Amino acid sequence: MPDQEIRKMKDKMEKVLEHLKKELLGIRTGRAHPALVSDIKVDYYGTPTPMSQVGSISTPDARQILITLWDKNAVKAAEKAIQASSLGINPSVDGENIRLVVPELTGERRVELTKLVKKCAEDARIAVRNLRRESNEAFKKMEKEGTISEDSLHDQLETTQKTTDEYIKKIDVIAAEKEREVLED
């Protein structure tokens, strides 16, 4: 039963890492990346739909994103959604395509983005620590109920802490990589 709890905690921590990676993909670095626009919600016939579901997104070069919409009637809605997003890029429309030219980042904007990366990483660390707390509480409850011994409780708490430290390090590495990417571009 303790092994199941550890496995469950690790699975949840993996999800935290995946969420962090996805969130960081959306942070603009000065290089074009489909993830910058894929989650922008387009008002598609009254339903907020992710951009990736109304058209194909590609990057013809390092500074450009090309969105080819499958429905010509959605072009205006997609253009509006991009303008309303926090991306800060003005779209140019040519027929059923929308082009976004990703400008060079200013030094000031790079500093803002690194702060955003740090905030995302800290949110992930907090989520991992909360998972550690939940697991520790579950183990203490098991010990109280007599399901596991006091020694086993100590071992499980130690394992939980080691796992937490391991995931915190992974978060730090991911965040440092993204910060370097933001500052270098």
Q: Looking at the predicted structure, is the pLDDT value of residue 79 above 70?
A: yes
Q: What does DSSP assign to residue 73? A: G
pTM given for the model: 0.70
Residue 77: pLDDT above 70?
yes
Please tell me the predicted confidence (pLDDT) of residue 181: 84
Percentage of residues of the chain with pLDDT beyond 70: 98
CATH fold of the domain at 2-25+106-184? Topoisomerase I; Chain A, domain 4 (1.10.132)
Q: How large is the average pLDDT for residues 84-103?
A: 82
Domain coordinates in residue numbering, the chain:
2-25+106-184, 35-101
Kindly give, in sequence order, each residue whose CB lies less than 8 Å from that of residue 109, ignoring residues fewer than 6 positions away: none
| Whether 40 contacts 87, CB under 8 Å | yes
Q: Give 116-143 pLDDT, tens digit per residue.
A: 899 999 999 999 999 999 999 999 999 9
- To 5 degrees, how large is the angle CA 20–CA 180–CA 127? 20
Specify the 3-state DSSP secondary structure of 165.
helix
Burial of 75: CB neighbours in 10 Å, binned 0-12, 13-18, 19+: buried
Kindly report the CATH class assigned to 35-101.
alpha beta
Whether pLDDT at 185 is above 70: no
